Amino acid sequence: MHFQLPPRAQAKLVRVLRGRVLDVIVDIRSGSPTYGRHEAAELSAENAFMLYVPTGFAHGFVTLEPNSEVAYKVTDTYAPDCDRGLGWDDPALGIAWGVAPAAAILSDKDRKWPRLADLGPVF
């Protein structure tokens, strides 16, 4: 689950160009009544749905078909010094990804993100 810290925080508009994904957002805004809760939506080339990811939300997805392609529009450019993440498999989030942690294909960086309880205030 990815996000960027202020002052380079990003909102995103996400769509699928080919295939299908389960797209998930988590509210990480301190003091929000929905802090730590998530929403999930299936996006596909066929249904043409898009998902808006507001600033203050972590975002991630799992592909549901091989060779899926995802496109983003973002409100700011990538800023490595502001790049952060949240552990996708945190049991406290209760996200039903449909994939076992051992079967997930992740970058080394994505395997090391903290759980929500260890994240601290970021927004």
First to last CA, the chain: 15
Catalytic-role residue among 35, 38, 72, 78: 72
Give, in order, the Cα–Cα distances in Å from 91 to each of 8, 12, 19, 86.
Answer: 28, 25, 27, 12
The secondary element (H helix, E strand) that includes residue 13 is strand 12-18
72 flagged as catalytic: yes
Q: How far apart are CA 19 and CA 53, in angstroms?
A: 20
33 preceded by a cis bond (ω within 30 of 0): no
Q: Which residues are part of the catalytic machinery?
A: 2, 72
